[in-house]
Structure 1
């Protein structure tokens, strides 16, 4: 099946207690400024270990928190019915990387068809469902933002990955959270590698999201085992990589 979809690796920088958001990040910036630099260089620059990836996939909440700040899209309630099926942006540069947003209901208020990570331009691709409104699809088309339809009510990730490879020639894809998205792909055997830069900080909060989280309607909580691949010491950081046990 891998030949029909990209190679998917989950690349994250959790706290020592497995959190991916919280005040531990502030402590990290105060005492370990090289840690965040390492994460960026290895994952998002051409010379990094994962510099050959062609894009990153993130969930709707992660995108809103970090990029679009929960703004509302400017919808046209009188929009004409758009053409059925997927939409590939006009004059898209396939040499750019991609930012793939998992947005089942169509909520993200993009301002442009691309975003910048450092010096790299990323084409935006929205993954939506058949429940996404015509008004939102019209909004994406007006912004010249590509979208693919995968699933009726919930995202069909297998279909989404196959379309990403077929339509956009994506061979290697970073999975960048949040925890619900990470776990959904792991539960469906659609993630090939886990790469964790474990940060030497923690805050103990019980309310912040974890590296992996289940959610009704998206994934179950079936236990999964992993095979340790490599362990590296990078200053005060432990860099761990795993493959997923095929017997799960």
Structure 2
């Protein structure tokens, strides 16, 4: 069984994800609100780690600006380094562009999810940095396979998905999100095209949204007017 996946986000009222665009609330600086509520809410889940896409993880570790060309998919073996008591920082990086140094993310254990087409040189660099990696099929899109392997290797039962809208959309369309935890700040973005909680690619008829309803688990008004909503994903049976 794969770990439970909770998508944990902080947004404006209209579900947008760029705090740099948000105005302050009536009585609090927006960054003070984020600092006061986002991490404490995340910590309450006692998760074994967090998941983001390659672009977000590149804010924390180095990456290759001009990646090596992908080759033909071939059988690959997952490689798991010792995490100790560190939580997991999981990056979805099918092309293998991340080039972490051993000193980066030292307080957490980095796990990279790759496609089976990445060059051997990429794997050698990850091994050298003491990074774990796991393969998600030929194109890197078999995420449930990768998550199950991570859960079994590290004994984690719950992970927080904290990606951008595109990464969250990939998990959503794959049916891999079990719960949403959304902190709504008392501010409005309003600009069309700004990333949202879930930005899934594809035509409307291709998306399974109608088959994944939500059940409210809890709602709470926090200091500064932030509203914390938790919803369980309820997958409708298909006939």
- TM-score tier (shorter): 0.7 to 0.9
Note if 1:229 corresponds to 2:217.
Answer: yes
- Quick check: 1:183–1:214 contact (8 Å CA) kept in 2? yes
Q: Is the 8 A contact 2:76 2:116 kept in 1?
A: no
Equivalents in 1 of 2:183, 2:37: separation in Å?
A: 9
* CA distance in structure 2 between the partners assigned to 1:237 and 1:153 by the alignment: 39
Alignment pair present for 1:241 and 2:230: yes
Instruction: State the Cα distance separating 1:165 from its structure 2 match.
Output: 1.1
The equivalent position to 2:44 in structure 1, one of 46, 49, 74, is: 49
Partner of 1:36: helix, strand, or coil? helix
Residues 12, 184 of structure 2: 8 Å contact kept: yes
In the TM superposition, residue 76 of structure 1 has moved relative to its aligned partner by 9.9
What is the RMSD of the two structures over their aligned residues, measured on CA atoms? 2.7
TM norm structure 1: 0.81
Matched position secondary structure for 2:194: coil
For the Cα contact (< 8 Å) 1:113–1:123, is it kept in 2? Answer: no
Question: Which of residues 61, 85, 95 in structure 1 aligns to 2:55?
Answer: 61
Q: 1:87 aligns with which of 73, 79, 96?
A: 79
Counterparts of residues 32-43 of structure 1 (less than 5 Å): 33-43=32-42
**1:129 and 2:115 equivalent?**
yes
Instruction: Give SS of 1:35's match.
Output: helix
**1:105 Cα deviation after fit:** 0.5
Judged with a 3 Å threshold, the aligned counterparts in structure 2 of structure 1 residues 106 and 26 are, in CA distance, closer, same or farther, namely farther
State the number of aligned residues: 226
The question of whether the paired residues in 1 share the 8 Å contact of 2:99 and 2:125 is answered with no
